[in-house]
Amino acid sequence: MSENITSTDEHKQQMQEQQQQVRAKIAQAKTRRGIIIYLYGNGKGKSSSAFGTLIRSIGHGKRGAVVQFIKGKWKTGEQAIFRQLGVEHLVMGTGFTWDTQDREQDIAAAEAVWNQAAPLFRDPAYDLIVLDEITYMFKYGYLSIAAVSEVLQARPAQQNVMITGRDPIPELLEIADTISEVKEIRHAFNHGIKAQKGIEY
């Protein structure tokens, strides 16, 4: 038998210690409030994680909203489901900035969707709001991070927000409660594999 394999008694003792540590941590978490979750990075899985969380939330009878920046020209699978689930869905709808190539039009579209979204952050009926791909708006200077941050911080106490986008925006890193970096290890597209319906969009 290898030295790494613990005996049944040792295993039991280790698990009991671990259980005590976990229970102590659970006992320490006493605050109940909504959080900001920020998912950034160059790997695949940010938006789909946000939508997965939204599905989880709706499964518990909670109310959700999705605000999508950049995207909008493709018919995504999630858009159809949002409609079916009664999720409020706001879309900038201009497509990628490298396709529009029109700064003024992009700024007007960004401001228009943000003006529609801002009231959601004053409405306690919304339990989870996803701001998908909003980091591009700050990167290109289409929206003011200070103004958005102020609205987010003044939101109802129990409201949760999920923010996705590739860039680590310092002001968002400062106000987020949970932050994950999704790092590309490999992506099929970079090996010549076409984007698939139901997987990428």
Binding site for ligand ATP (CB under 6 A): 42-48, 133, 164, 166, 182, 184, 187, 189-190, 195, 200-201
Q: How far apart are CA 132 and CA 173, in angstroms?
A: 16
CB contact at 8 A, 193 and 66: no
Binds 74: which of Mg ion, ligand ATP, none (CB < 5-8 Å by kind): none
Residue with the two structure tokens 């909504």: 34
**What are the phi and psi torsion angles at 106 (to 5°)?**
-65, -40
Closer to ligand ATP by Cβ: residue 156 or 179: 179
Minimum CB distance to ligand ATP, residue 188 (Å): 8
Q: How far is the CB of 186 from ligand ATP (least distance, A)?
A: 8
Q: Which of 47, 68, 76, 160 binds Mg ion (CB under 5 A)?
A: 47
Choose between 47 and 94: whose C-beta lies nearer to Mg ion: 47
H/E run at residue 131: strand 128-132
CA distance 152 to 161: 8
Closer to Mg ion by CB, 46 or 155: give it.
46
**C-beta closer to ligand ATP: residue 68 or 160:** 68
Q: How far is the CB of 144 from ligand ATP (least distance, A)?
A: 22
The item of Mg ion, ligand ATP, none sharing an interface with residue 166, based on CB under 5 to 8 Å by kind, is ligand ATP
From ligand ATP, Mg ion, none, interface partner of 88 (C-beta below 5 to 8 A by class): none
Q: Given the complex with ligand ATP, which of 107 and 182 has the nearer CB atom?
A: 182
**Which of 19-27, 39-47, 61-69, 175-183 is the region at the interface with Mg ion (rule: CB under 5 A)?**
39-47
Amino acid at 188: A
Q: How far is the CB of 79 from ligand ATP (least distance, A)?
A: 12
Which DSSP string corresponds to 144-191?
-HHHHHHHHHTS-TT-EEEEE-SS--HHHHHH-SEEEE---S--GGGG
Angstrom distance (rounded) from CA 25 to CA 28:
5
What's the CA gap between 46 and 15, in Å, rounded? 33
